[in-house]
Structure 1
């Protein structure tokens, strides 16, 4: 994430791309929780899979080093990693409380 040119965080296209990617990332993981079986809360399983974290950053760094990922896309995907990592703990807490009720 330290490789990001922060000026791209203020670019409207980068922010739009980050919003679309974040929405797709969250919805995709929530939908993947549907296949959870047994006594598990499917919502909690889906929410628990949302974060992208450091593995995503490693792949982004490699992609950028190979020239596959440009600066704008790199910044957008760093935002996605950050957003999905930050949003997960409160959502997971909420979903687990909901499952216990």
Structure 2
């Protein structure tokens, strides 16, 4: 689930409008709208602030990969063309930049 979908679901679960959440979080309704519609990717800190305004807390976790599955994934990746792997790498790098800086898409 992306950050915008998460925020929209949690906001609606609390029965708040975008405007009401924006007032609680000290931001603008347009900012909430851009995040929820995928036009802006918030930083982890920003998403945590918005969820805190809803009375919730963001929790992140890391889960170890199954070693056997990881080997299968590496083999499958090696079977793909260099172009396909590079395209995936560029997409991942772009996503990482958005997460790190909250950049717009």
TM-score clears 0.5? no
Q: Which has the larger radius of gyration?
A: 2
Q: TM-score, normalised on structure 1?
A: 0.34
Write 1 or 2 for the structure with the bigger share of helix: 1
TM-score, L = length of structure 2: 0.33
Q: Which has the higher contact order (CA 8 A, sep 6+)?
A: 1
